[in-house]
Chain A
Amino acid sequence: MTRVKVKKKSTFIDMTAMSDVTVLLLTFFMLTSTFVKKEPVQVYTPASVSEIKIPETNILQILVDSKGKIFMSLDKQPDLRAVLQRMGEEYGVKFNAEQEKKFSVASTFGVPIASMPEYLNLPSDKQDEVLKNEGIPCDSTDNQFKSWVKNAKEINPDLRIAIKADSKTPYAVIKKIMNSLQDIRENRYNLITNLKTTSEE
């Protein structure tokens, strides 16, 4: 009966060290990572050898999907509101306070200005569905894209323009965008790319 003599050991494991480790990891992730922005369309950017990092703030991002639909995003909410007001004045569209608020919290926008009030009245889950099939018009007859950029630049002159386009986007669309930007004398801008993983030296 040796079994009786064995003392019962407690199964309590000291989790303090484990907790330390997890807190450290958590801090690391919180400090180094950035949140994934919700984008209405999936965009695969082409790879390049360029290693310049994009600044985090004051970015006017132009998102172009593979079919040539254009979306835009601004990172500052007051700017967004002001831009919407100006666009409304320019195109004669009125927005109420509720709509403006909804616009300023949305991460990406991209519907023709005429249907903007209607779009903003939709609940947010419906908005995502609608947004996928819209896009800012950028034709020579109806260049709303140009007005958006121009107004955004007037409100915040420090804005940097960054174009994020899908690698399959036809050059014709890119040309339209570049020409529009040139028209409003925006000659310096960034093209967002991935880092090329395989070296081809």
Chain B
Amino acid sequence: MSAEVQESNKNSSSKQKKMTVRVDFTPMVDMNMLLITFFMLCTTLSKPQTMEISMPSNDKNISEADQNKVKASQAITLLLAGKDKIYYYEGQPNYADPSSLKETSYLASGIRQQLLKKNYEAVQKVNELKKDKANLKISEEEYKKKLAEIKSGKNTPTVIIKATDDSSYRNLIDALDEMQICNIGKYVITEITPQDKALVAKRSGDNPSGSADQSKEGGI
């Protein structure tokens, strides 16, 4: 109170009126809103995700040596056919008998079940590892190191992905996705052989048994 009085006294003595320093911010807000609208419309917040893959080099010697390494018992071959169909066989198929090729689907109940079964040990280990990481027992680096170790372990299956020309890019991504979900470290995308192609053609030709398989797969 007293301060106010003093001040008014001062003002009257200097004869200067106190000016209001209030600035109207409305145009400023208008402009900012416009800018925000512009940024919201012309930009994206989400950065695209990516999948890293490394393909085998084209060197003939290396690929042959690599191929020899794959044990038939631990190999699963996925054949991606057109119309979102996927077939698989374990080890070596019987090229004379099309029914050695099993039909499955991209759904969680389809190919994933098969791969998880095949890769049971590694999946268990990875799940434990993830728990440890969630409980902060191990560090991020340790986790990565151990994960790589498990994935390249001895008893893990090797998946060979062979796509026919009819299949789409989405099928390929879906198949690669399954590799990540099922913690499969060893997989390769190779060109389909004429034998495999013929087998798929034969298999998709006999519809009755194919559709029967499909319904069984869906029932589970």
Same complex: yes
Q: How far is the CA of A201 from the CA of B123 in the complex (A)?
A: 14
Min Cβ gap A65→B in Å is 11
Of all chain A residues, the one with the shortest Cβ separation from B170 is: A167
User: A174 to chain B: which residues have CB within 8 Å?
Assistant: 169, 172
Of all chain B residues, the one with the shortest Cβ separation from A189 is: B53
Whether B39 and A191, one on each chain, are in contact in the complex, defined by CB atoms closer than 8 angstroms, is: no
A9: Cβ under 8 A from any B Cβ? no
Known: A32-B45, A167-B168, A182-B58. A15 touches B51 (CB 8 A): no
Of all chain B residues, the one with the shortest Cβ separation from A59 is: B50
B114: Cβ under 8 A from any A Cβ? no
**B residues touching A (Cβ–Cβ < 8 Å)?**
22-26, 28-29, 32-33, 35-36, 39-40, 42-58, 80, 108, 163-174, 176-177, 180-181, 189, 191
Whether A49 and B177, one on each chain, are in contact in the complex, defined by CB atoms closer than 8 angstroms, is: yes
Query: What are 13 A-B pairs with beta-carbon distances under 8 A?
Result: A15-B28, A34-B43, A34-B47, A35-B44, A47-B173, A48-B180, A49-B177, A52-B51, A54-B50, A171-B171, A174-B172, A189-B53, A192-B48
User: A200 to chain B: which residues have CB within 8 Å?
Assistant: 108
Min Cβ gap A190→B in Å is 4
User: B29 to chain A: which residues have CB within 8 Å?
Assistant: 15, 18-19, 22
User: B80 to chain A: which residues have CB within 8 Å?
Assistant: 171
Whether B55 and A191, one on each chain, are in contact in the complex, defined by CB atoms closer than 8 angstroms, is: no
**A residues touching B (Cβ–Cβ < 8 Å)?**
12, 14-16, 18-19, 22-23, 25-26, 29-30, 32-36, 45-54, 64, 162, 164-172, 174-175, 178, 181-183, 185, 187-196, 200-201
Overall SS of chain B's interface: mixed
With A171-B171, A189-B52 given, name 7 new contacts (CB 8 A): A14-B25, A30-B39, A48-B177, A53-B47, A189-B55, A191-B53, A194-B48
Known: A15-B26, A22-B29, A168-B169. A52 touches B43 (CB 8 A): no
User: B24 to chain A: which residues have CB within 8 Å?
Assistant: 12, 15
Min Cβ gap A108→B in Å is 15
Known: A36-B42, A46-B174, A49-B181. A195 touches B35 (CB 8 A): no
Whether B169 and A48, one on each chain, are in contact in the complex, defined by CB atoms closer than 8 angstroms, is: no
Known: A49-B177, A168-B169. A193 touches B43 (CB 8 A): no
User: B172 to chain A: which residues have CB within 8 Å?
Assistant: 171, 174
**Residue from B36, B46, B57, B108 within 8 A of A29 (CB atoms):** B36
Q: 5 closest Cβ contacts across the A-B interface?
A: A15-B25, A22-B32, A33-B43, A167-B170, A29-B39
Of all chain A residues, the one with the shortest Cβ separation from B23 is: A16
Q: How far is the CA of A75 from the CA of B25 in the complex (A)?
A: 39
User: B167 to chain A: which residues have CB within 8 Å?
Assistant: 170-171
User: A50 to chain B: which residues have CB within 8 Å?
Assistant: 49-51, 177, 180
Min Cβ gap A122→B in Å is 25
Min Cβ gap B48→A in Å is 5
Whether B39 and A175, one on each chain, are in contact in the complex, defined by CB atoms closer than 8 angstroms, is: no
Q: How far is the CA of A14 from the CA of B35 in the complex (A)?
A: 21
Whether A33 and B171, one on each chain, are in contact in the complex, defined by CB atoms closer than 8 angstroms, is: no
Whether B191 and A175, one on each chain, are in contact in the complex, defined by CB atoms closer than 8 angstroms, is: yes
Of all chain B residues, the one with the shortest Cβ separation from A13 is: B26
**Residue from A32, A162, A167, A170 within 8 A of B173 (CB atoms):** A167
User: A175 to chain B: which residues have CB within 8 Å?
Assistant: 163, 165, 191
Of all chain A residues, the one with the shortest Cβ separation from B173 is: A46
Q: How far is the CA of A99 from the CA of B123 in the complex (A)?
A: 56
Min Cβ gap A10→B in Å is 11
Q: Which of B29, B46, B173, B177 has the most CB of A within 10 A?
A: B173
User: A183 to chain B: which residues have CB within 8 Å?
Assistant: 58
Whether A19 and B36, one on each chain, are in contact in the complex, defined by CB atoms closer than 8 angstroms, is: no
Min Cβ gap B49→A in Å is 5
Q: How far is the CA of A146 from the CA of B108 in the complex (A)?
A: 37
Min Cβ gap B190→A in Å is 10
